[in-house]
Amino acid sequence: MESIWRQGQVMPHFPPLRGTVKTQVLVIGGGMAGLLCAHRLHQAGVDCCVVEENRIAGGVTGNTTAKITAQHGLIYRKLLKNLGPERAKGYLQANLAALDAFRTLCRDIPCDFEEKDHIVFSRDDRGALEAELAALQELGYPAELAEELGLPFPTVGGVRFPAQAQFDPLKFLAAIAEDLTIYQQTPVRRLTRQGADTDHGRIQADAVIVATHFPMFNRHGSYFLKLYQQRSYVLALENAPIPPGMYLEDRENGLSLRSRGSTLLLGGGGHRTGNPGGGWEELEQAARQYYPEARISCRWATQDCMSLDGLPYIGHYSAATANLYVATGFNKWGMTTSMLAAYILRDLITGKDNPYAALFSPSRSMLCPQLGINLKESAKNLLTPSSRRCTHLGCALKWNPQEHSWDCPCHGSRFSEDGTRLDNPAKKDLPPED
């Protein structure tokens, strides 16, 4: 179950931290968000270091489909309704700026960067496409209605964002990591007023960025209420026709498609972590139906933090933490949003105004329908009798037969069959069964 990006890719090695170091900014987490934050701070002349509990890009970043786009589903009609035109346009402009930043950086990095149109398609709801196009027209963005999509199943069309992009995330990170101070195999055990303590050392820092996918500290921010996690699945198909663009289906847990050379990456089968879902079985059925001559060369799964309102949380960890920052809740769009987070957090730390900081502030209102769903899920699983309970906040774990793991429906922690922790926010392995 190794992703296509990991096959044959050798990432640079960095030593663990031993002793005490001083830095202006400590970045916790060596995925796309953490390394981009460190990269942008380094470019701004800020001394910073990254600590990663395992190996850089060893988590969610290595399992992404690596689309870089400002089109995150048919969301702009909803953003117009919920946020108003100014903030909806801010969301669009922020993500387009992140795309442009990748475009500039990747000119000098051999990472298979390709410009491709991105299309959100529907099989049966032409009205939803037309409503989205009307919203984008109001926001001044030149999206197009695509009629012929080159897909092996009928659709009623799609909304096209021209000149978006795709790339190899591990090749990209291997390049930008070269100029950074990084400590691997260095889990942070606690935050202090001066920085953070690890197993064999201490980092003294003026500011700390938490870029650990799901925030690891429960004391501030209420992220155990603000976030839940979703599993998604990918098949790499050989001998399948390669469509000309990148695609996403406009339905919950619909299909996602992109190419990687002559290989088709088919994604989907998603579900809330710890709950039943289609998984690889659903994708295999789709592959047999639409690509009967194809061969599965590899498969993998990933996990995404989902926010209450569909916008990521980027900024101060909470209103009470002046020098503690966070980047999380990327809602399956971690590539574009990681770059956005790097710019916002760089500006906040260096005292510059950022036009998008208020929009993505983690201190915005939590009063969303998803909050009630999260509370209900947590209450149900906290009260469910079970011999296997999550080491995060004690929810009952559910057995995942497809991936042979114990998964937490409350906050998305995962453990192997023998109890080894696989995904946070849990920090500890499961205790041995009686």
- DSSP result, 245-265: SEEEESSTT--EEEEETTEEE
CATH architecture of 19-64+170-226+309-350: 3-Layer(bba) Sandwich (3.50)
Q: Give the Cα separation of 144 and 164 in Å (integer).
A: 13
Instruction: Give residue 219's pLDDT band: very low, low, confident or very high (50, 70, 90).
Output: confident
User: Whole-prediction pTM value?
Assistant: 0.96
Fold identical between 112-166+229-305 and 369-423? no
Nearest to 227 by CA among 82, 386, 423, 401: 423
Q: What is the pLDDT of residue 420?
A: 92
Q: Which position has the token pair 């197009």?
A: 144
For 359-393, how does the pLDDT look when each residue is reduced to its tens digit (9 = 90+)? 999 999 999 999 999 999 888 888 888 889 999 99
Q: Helices 169-176 and 32-43: crossing angle, nearest 10°?
A: 40
For residue 19 the two structure tokens come to: 């002793």
Query: What one-letter code names the amino acid at 48?
Result: C
- State pLDDT tens for residues 255-308: 999 999 999 999 999 999 999 888 889 999 999 999 999 999 999 999 999 999
Residues 34 and 284: their CA atoms lie apart, in Å, by 34
Q: Which CATH number fits domain 369-423: 3.40.109.10, 2.102.10.10, 2.40.128.720, 2.60.120.560?
A: 2.102.10.10
Predicted local confidence at residue 434, as pLDDT: 62
- What is the percentage of the chain residues whose pLDDT exceeds 90? 88
Q: Output the pLDDT for position 433.
A: 76
pLDDT computed for residue 385 by the predictor: 86
Residues 6+ apart with CB under 8 A from 93: 356
- Go through the chain and tell me how many residues it has: 434
Domain ranges of the chain: 19-64+170-226+309-350, 112-166+229-305, 369-423
Residue 62 has pLDDT above 90, yes or no: yes
Distance separating alpha carbons of residues 123 and 223, to the nearest angstrom? 35
Whether pLDDT at 253 is above 90: no
Confidence of residue 214 (pLDDT cuts 50, 70, 90): very high
Mean pLDDT throughout 320-338? 96
Query: Residue 292: what pLDDT?
Result: 96
Q: Is the pLDDT of residue 48 over 90?
A: yes
Which CATH superfamily hosts domain 112-166+229-305? D-Amino Acid Oxidase, subunit A, domain 2 (3.30.9.10)
Segment 30-53 shows an average pLDDT of 97
Q: What is the mean pLDDT of residues 133-145?
A: 97
**Which of 298, 291, 333 has its CA nearest to residue 312?**
333
Which pLDDT value is given to residue 384?
86
